[in-house]
Structure 1
Amino acid sequence: MSISSPVMQKDFDTNTGTLKKDDEVVLDEFDIQDETPGSLLWETAFVGVLCSAQLMTQAGLGQSLAPLHIIGKSFGTTNPGQLSWFASAYSLTVGTFILIAGRLGDIFGHKKFFVLGFFWYALWSLLAGFSVYSNKIFFDCCRAFQGMGPAFLLPNAIAILGRTYKSGKRKNMVFSLFGACAPGGFVLGAVFSSLLGQLAWWPWAYWIMGIACFFLAIAGYFIIPHTAMPSRHASSFKLLERVDFAGSVTGVIGLILFNFAWNQGPVVGWQTPYTYILLIVGTVFLAIFAFIESRAAFPLLPFAALSSDTAFVLSCIAAGWASFGIWIFYTWQFMEDSRGQTPLLSSAQFSPVAVSGFCAALTTGYLLSRTPPSTVMLFAMTAFTAGTILIATAPVHQTYWAQTFVSIIVMPWGMDMSFPAATIMLSDSMPHEHQGLAASLVNTVVNYSISIGLGIAGTIESNVNDGGAKPLKGYRCSWYMGIGLSGLGIFVAAIYAWSTFKKSKKRTSEKQHFIE
């Protein structure tokens, strides 16, 4: 059984929608069709290596959340705002650099940046472990640079999969399996970091992560089929234009400053001048980015390709995954702080998300071929809301097998239904020449929303927990914010599902009228 390659137009840029022969960056001998693995065993290895991008991305999030207080203690900090940076610094850069990584992959080769992403991830994982000899600021910086690795892995892995598989049930299942690796990866990172944090030394979790990423980079180099490289006979100026250098710089600066302000506000207080100044400056840079993109020859984010459908989908993803970020961060605090559990016990209690996520992925792969993706998205937003309500109302001394267990079972359905549904919905709503943009946008919004959600929740927590005297009150109020966000996601998804149903009914009616 072999992987089939799609038929794509020669000399066509899937990200910008331009014929490459018309550009001075000549891609005259570029054929996107790859060499494809020719056996089931090779295909399994191929899909496994690419899915490891999602697995290791979420493991990177879990390895800081589970032993959060152990790591904070080694740096002499217990401030909730400072602790939240251990997770949000990572998600910040994952979300910020995905669009740029996808563009670079389009120009220089997706396989090359997939392999380089794992090498980069390995390097900064090792340095994050060695930060134990430094301070929390250096650790935060290492976490931020560490997140740039997954930012290059995710869009290029999805691009390789999307380019290799034709549309159909097989492709839906592969993308669902890719999403299923998210909860499993989180559990993997949480369990190993908890185990090493309690029984050995927490830096070993990062050193082992670095070693694993190094071997995955080597595996990717040998397993992923070769892609023919384009010939480039262009000036550096034209190359910078194709990369959209001005848009990339202003976009990155804007996203980083905007996010930094939201996550730093709970630490130093919003009355500190530099927090709201950076928020204003970040907003200005984002406005400049939008202006540049509207006039760029090769925009990083082509606004012409965005539609009302795109806005609906990304709004759902932003609301749902921001809620998820709040849920997962404060559930860990609730388990370890309010219930006094060890990180290892909490990791064990979180382990059902891997099984639930796998079941959700298989179900989603089945549903997407029989149910409109907008309906699947509505189910996903409902799962995010239900899971957060269950944990937000759980009593401290209640048994784990009541609301906490059910919440942990329900939440992966939100994750593993929303990600593939959003990718397919954007793919269907965007022009053919912008298909490569769909996956990058979804990943950007997913990871950036997690970081922003934590910043907003941290602001709420710091203002209601009476200076840390009532931490549980802060957790619950943050969860209530998460419920509000996911509830907004349900509202948007319901409107979009109804709109999609009406359009489908209208098309059916017009078709019947034409036949008559």
Structure 2
Amino acid sequence: MTPIDIPVKGPVAPVEKVDPTTLSKFQQLCLKSQPLMLYVVSLAQFLDIVNGASMTVAMLPIAKELKFETQQQQWLISSYALSFGGLLLIAGRMGDLFGHRRVFLGGLFWFGLFSLVNGFSKSPVMLCISRALQGIGAAAQIPTALALIAIKYPAGVERTRALSVFGAIGAMGAVTGLLLSGALTSTVGWQWIFFISAIMSVILFILGLFAIPQASGLHGENPRIDFGGSFTATGGIVCVIYYISAGVETGWASVQTLPVLCIGLVLLAIFFVIEKRISYPIMPFHVWKHRAFSTSFALIFIMQAVFQGYLYFTTLTFQEVLGYSIMRTSLSYLVHGLTAMVFYSILGRLLPRLPLKPIIAVGFIFLGVSSLLFAFVTENSTYWVLPFISLICNVLGLGMVMLPAQITALRDASDDDQGVVGAIYNVGLQIGAPFGLAILTVISGKLNGDHKGERVGGPVNMHGYKYALLGDVALAALGFVVTLILLPSVKPTKAENNVPASLEEAGVAASSVMDQDKESVTTDVGVPTAFSKAEYVEEGQLPDKTEYIEEQHGGKTEYHQDGQELNSPQMAEEIIKAGAKVQY
């Protein structure tokens, strides 16, 4: 039991004071460690992204050492991406049902275990299978990490800054993966990419045991699991990602890819039918009714398509056109990572005060400019002219789109849905990457061939790379248009000081603060004295949600239950004490 556990029945309880002298040393240590939670979940996401991006550089050395056949090489990347993207939705909902802390730590342990197995792999089959199993752990961490942040930090300045830190650390993962894989592959060996991941996972797991507040799920002691939706959603998403990823090499209408797409579409159709008919869906459709979330999903999909295409073709340009070695190519991205560290920290402080829509729009302009600049690189170009400026523009655009989009995506979701919303958001990232890469690779492949359709090598490849990067500019322009037309004008909301940010924070995993007299610990639980809107669901009694809306009329407070006035806030409080669930 951690010091922030409240030993009372029901998800919401009256404010209780805990005497510090009754806390064990372990509980006191847990209380002091809670500020580390943000960095634990952020670094876990960082490791997940590093392990995905590092294969871009390390794939050829690994394939050579383990004797991969040419057609098997893509599975070094695809096996991880398929399990990661395919299981995000179910992992996010499992966090909502059984507790985000439990699912996050379980995923972190699983990820570290199979990182170790990856390092000891001696055959293509063993490495690809363990990469797929490693992706399961990553899928369990990302949506639950977002949910833990959204639940702990109230909407407004605190949450915006926390999400900015989370996004900044995660954004550095892709470039760090390139740097790390280049350095390790050229020195001690590619195995250490995975060994370092395993070591870091153990450290973060231990810190997480102390720093992440204990929290049960939000759906009661015996939650119902949507097995049908889980199976069809996972299968459908995996099939679609496979089709997009494999279609470039084998053909969009080949017998290896087209039947898989058809199966995926059928599974997704069945998934939508199931979700419409059951009362405990894995993906509640009401989350899509928030225009800010649905548009943010589209924007993050486009952004990831743009970024993945940029990262892929700039790497090829460095190596094939400019003739850089693996190590020099990795070091070329150092400015990207360093700029991200500085710019994202500044942006995180500014976002709570700024409207988000124009920032996202300007971000897509920067992304487009970065690809446009790199499109004009030639074999005689120097790093410090076009590539250097392009990398800086790219990291500015990436931050100005990703960080605000993350905030708008989570802004309107209730605590009960934070896990699934975070999962859907990351599914957009996972599908967007191969989608963009597939389109741009087709453009490049059609142009980089002789009259027989065979690929040629060397600087002449820049002809195809140029038009692929111009295609990337077109995708960025699409994101700009979608932002202007569809995204509502959003500014991070400022939470009331006296309103708990969430049920987990207010009930079971509340943040504890010392009283002014420093003699007792008071937990932020109980019924708020004022709130803008809350939804109460009486377990087993009220099939539909009942809204209690506080309205001020000449200083008099009125509480309404489906249009009927309640006598007093005490009546609402009594309902809560009886075992109702609360969402703020």
Give the TM-score taking structure 2 as reference length: 0.73
> How far did 1:494 drift?
1.6
Write the letter of the residue equivalent to 2:455. G
More helix by share: 1
The answer for the alignment partner of 1:508 in structure 2 is none
> How far did 1:304 drift?
2.6
1:95-114: per-residue Cα shift (whole Å, max 9, x none)? 32222111111221211111
The answer for the alignment partner of 1:286 in structure 2 is 268
Write the letter of the residue equivalent to 2:51. G
The answer for the alignment partner of 1:151 in structure 2 is 139
Q: 2:455 pairs with 450, 456, 468, which one?
A: 468
Q: 2:110 pairs with 116, 120, 136, which one?
A: 120
5 Å-filtered alignment, 1:358-507, equals: 358-430=341-413, 434-466=417-449, 467-470=454-457, 471-496=461-486, 500=489
> How far did 1:83 drift?
4.7
Q: Give the conservation status (yes or no) of the 8 Å contact 2:40–2:208.
A: yes
The answer for the alignment partner of 1:29 in structure 2 is 10
Q: 1:334 pairs with 317, 327, 333, which one?
A: 317
5 Å-filtered alignment, 1:144-183, equals: 144-183=132-171
Q: Give the conservation status (yes or no) of the 8 Å contact 1:98–1:443.
A: yes
1:296-338: per-residue Cα shift (whole Å, max 9, x none)? 2122222233134433222111111111111112222222233
Q: Give the conservation status (yes or no) of the 8 Å contact 1:422–1:442.
A: no
Q: 1:221 pairs with 179, 184, 209, which one?
A: 209
Write the letter of the residue equivalent to 1:286. L
More strand by share: 2
Q: In the superposition, relative to structure 1, how do residues 104 and 231 fare at CA in structure 2: closer, same or farther (>3 Å)?
A: closer
Asked if residue 305 in structure 1 is aligned to residue 284 in structure 2, the reply is no
Aligned partner of residue 301 in structure 2, secondary structure = helix
5 Å-filtered alignment, 1:53-68, equals: 53-68=44-59
What is the distance in 1 between the residues matched to 2:218 and 2:28?
Answer: 22
Q: In the superposition, relative to structure 1, how do residues 310 and 37 fare at CA in structure 2: closer, same or farther (>3 Å)?
A: farther
Q: 1:244 pairs with 226, 230, 233, which one?
A: 226
Asked if residue 198 in structure 1 is aligned to residue 186 in structure 2, the reply is yes
> How far did 1:360 drift?
3.1
Give the TM-score taking structure 1 as reference length: 0.82
Q: Give the conservation status (yes or no) of the 8 Å contact 1:90–1:143.
A: yes
How many residues get paired?
467
The answer for the alignment partner of 2:61 in structure 1 is 70
Q: In the superposition, relative to structure 1, how do residues 119 and 393 fare at CA in structure 2: closer, same or farther (>3 Å)?
A: same
Q: Give the conservation status (yes or no) of the 8 Å contact 1:265–1:275.
A: yes
> How far did 1:179 drift?
0.6
> How far did 1:477 drift?
3.7
Q: How much is the aligned-residue C-alpha RMSD, in angstroms?
A: 3.1
| Structure 1, gaps ≥5 residues long | 11-26, 502-516
What is the distance in 2 between the residues matched to 1:231 and 1:301?
Answer: 14
The answer for the alignment partner of 1:268 in structure 2 is 250
What is the distance in 1 between the residues matched to 2:275 and 2:391?
Answer: 41
Q: In the superposition, relative to structure 1, how do residues 72 and 233 fare at CA in structure 2: closer, same or farther (>3 Å)?
A: closer
What is the distance in 1 between the residues matched to 2:463 and 2:295?
Answer: 33
What is the distance in 2 between the residues matched to 1:68 and 1:339?
Answer: 20
Q: Give the conservation status (yes or no) of the 8 Å contact 1:91–1:448.
A: no
Name the % identity.
Answer: 27
What is the distance in 1 between the residues matched to 2:305 and 2:478?
Answer: 11
Q: In the superposition, relative to structure 1, how do residues 472 and 92 fare at CA in structure 2: closer, same or farther (>3 Å)?
A: farther
The answer for the alignment partner of 2:38 in structure 1 is 47
Q: In the superposition, relative to structure 1, how do residues 432 and 184 fare at CA in structure 2: closer, same or farther (>3 Å)?
A: closer
Aligned partner of residue 468 in structure 1, secondary structure = coil
> How far did 1:232 drift?
5.9
Asked if residue 317 in structure 1 is aligned to residue 300 in structure 2, the reply is yes
Q: Give the conservation status (yes or no) of the 8 Å contact 1:323–1:453.
A: yes
| Structure 2, gaps ≥5 residues long | 19-26, 491-584
What is the distance in 1 between the residues matched to 2:12 and 2:299?
Answer: 36
Aligned partner of residue 278 in structure 2, secondary structure = coil
Q: Give the conservation status (yes or no) of the 8 Å contact 2:34–2:211.
A: no
Q: 2:123 pairs with 105, 124, 134, which one?
A: 134
Asked if residue 102 in structure 1 is aligned to residue 92 in structure 2, the reply is yes
The answer for the alignment partner of 2:532 in structure 1 is none
> How far did 1:119 drift?
1.4
Write the letter of the residue equivalent to 1:99. L
Q: Give the conservation status (yes or no) of the 8 Å contact 2:43–2:170.
A: no
Q: Give the conservation status (yes or no) of the 8 Å contact 1:335–1:346.
A: yes
What is the distance in 1 between the residues matched to 2:489 and 2:229?
Answer: 33
What is the distance in 2 between the residues matched to 1:190 and 1:262?
Answer: 23
What is the distance in 2 between the residues matched to 1:93 and 1:297?
Answer: 27
